[in-house]
């Protein structure tokens, strides 16, 4: 594969079409911005030649956005000669190395890579759970297929998975519900302020397959007290939103609160040690 390293005008860089990795507007983005401010862009992005003298970004979308925000006009890039399918596979593989990935990002990334591999004739049909090499280096084909199932969820339910309100395995079960039933389920989740456990999700799927899933059935299942239900401390978003930047998601706020509590705990331990 031929490649060259060159400095490219940032206006000539085009985002990869339909890439599934979301922009981070919280802590991660702030840390990246500070790093680029202090040190410049240490790692070149990866791109491929596109139409009319432009370049399609393979890896480095977040770095490009940060550079634009900071007014940087030219950035270093490794430009590779790739087909569309080769570019998809490289884009997915490079982004899967990131430390924090949402379930929805993995789901659509795995789906894109599987379709690209099919085009190349390297895999066919369902992902064989015994084969791990083509799709993921650290997850089985069966687990990859579970992630791909999440692409069948409506956006509202998938967002709850990303926010960790619905666990991964129950979400896979819910992905088998038809779209209209998923919409009803989402409305009942919001109304009851409860999400299904694995056993509840399995029952909802079974009711659906039997043609017996209704609003009343969904409400009855969600209203059950879960056997492993634990006491929780909850905050209303509107009560704490004022303490965070507008760009912060619920997950960003949660991570920040945990981080501050950890610092507070360490300070208490130091104070106790000084008092001895």
Residues ≥6 apart with Cβ < 8 Å to 196: 166, 170, 174, 189, 204, 221, 222
- Strand 45-49 with 74-80, pairing: parallel
Q: What is the rounded CA–CA span in Å between residue 52 and residue 252? A: 39
Task: Output the six-digit token pair for 83.
Answer: 């087909």
Give 188: exposed, middle or buried? Use CB within 10 Å, 0-12, 13-18, 19+: buried
Q: What is the rounded CA–CA span in Å between residue 58 and residue 33? A: 20
Q: Is 72 left (phi over 0), alpha (psi -120 to 50) or beta?
A: beta
Q: What is the rounded CA–CA span in Å between residue 75 and residue 67? A: 8
Q: Is the pLDDT of residue 132 over 60?
A: no
Q: What is the rounded CA–CA span in Å between residue 151 and residue 172? A: 10
| Residue-wise pLDDT tens digits, 146-155 | 999 999 999 9
Question: Which SS3 state, helix, strand or coil, does residue 41 take?
Answer: coil
Provide the residue count of the chain: 276
Window from 25-29, 126-130, 150-154, 216-220 with minimum mean pLDDT = 126-130
Nearest one of 194, 190, 196 to 172, comparing CA atoms: 196
**How many Cβ atoms from other residues are within 10 Å of residue 100's Cβ?**
10
Rounded to a whole number of angstroms, the CA Rg of the chain reads 23
Q: What is the rounded CA–CA span in Å between residue 13 and residue 55? A: 5
| Residue-wise pLDDT tens digits, 163-184 | 999 999 999 999 999 999 999 9
Q: What is the rounded CA–CA span in Å between residue 40 and residue 63? A: 10
| Residue-wise pLDDT tens digits, 102-131 | 899 889 989 988 888 888 776 545 544 444
161, 103 Cβ separation under 8 angstroms: yes
Q: What is the pTM of this model?
A: 0.68
DSSP code of residue 168: H
pLDDT at 227: 52
93, 128 Cβ separation under 8 angstroms: no
Please state the rounded mean pLDDT for residues 51-61: 86
Question: Which SS3 state, helix, strand or coil, does residue 100 take?
Answer: coil
Please state the rounded mean pLDDT for residues 194-204: 94
In the Cβ-directed half-sphere of 200, how many Cα atoms lie within 13 Å?
21
Task: Output the six-digit token pair for 93.
Answer: 């593989």
pLDDT at 262: 86
């Amino acid at each position: 594969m031929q490649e060259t390293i060159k400095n490219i005008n940032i206006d000539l860089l085009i985002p990869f079409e339909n890439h599934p990795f979301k922009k981070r507007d919280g802590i991660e983005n702030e840390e990246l911005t500070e790093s680029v401010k202090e040190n410049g862009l240490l790692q070149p992005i990866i791109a491929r030649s596109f139409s009319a003298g432009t370049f399609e970004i393979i890896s480095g979308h977040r770095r490009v956005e940060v550079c634009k925000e900071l007014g940087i006009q030219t950035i270093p890039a490794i430009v590779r000669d790739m087909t569309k399918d080769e570019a998809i596979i490289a884009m997915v593989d490079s982004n899967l190395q990131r430390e924090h990935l949402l379930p929805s990002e993995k789901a659509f990334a795995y789906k894109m890579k599987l379709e690209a591999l099919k085009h190349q004739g390297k895999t066919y049909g369902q992902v064989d759970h015994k084969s791990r090499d083509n799709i993921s280096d650290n997850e089985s084909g069966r687990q990859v297929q579970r992630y791909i199932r999440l692409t069948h969820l409506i956006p509202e339910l998938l967002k709850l998975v990303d926010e960790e309100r619905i666990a991964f395995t129950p979400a896979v079960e819910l992905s088998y519900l038809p779209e209209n039933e998923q919409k009803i389920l989402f409305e009942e989740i919001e109304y009851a302020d409860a999400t299904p456990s694995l056993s509840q999700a399995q029952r909802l799927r079974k009711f659906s397959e039997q043609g017996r899933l209704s609003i009343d059935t969904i409400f009855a299942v969600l209203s059950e007290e879960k056997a492993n239900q634990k006491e929780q401390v909850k905050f209303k978003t509107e009560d704490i939103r004022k303490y965070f930047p507008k760009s912060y998601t619920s997950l960003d706020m949660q991570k920040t609160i945990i981080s501050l509590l950890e610092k507070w705990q360490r300070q208490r331990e130091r104070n106790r040690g000084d008092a001895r």
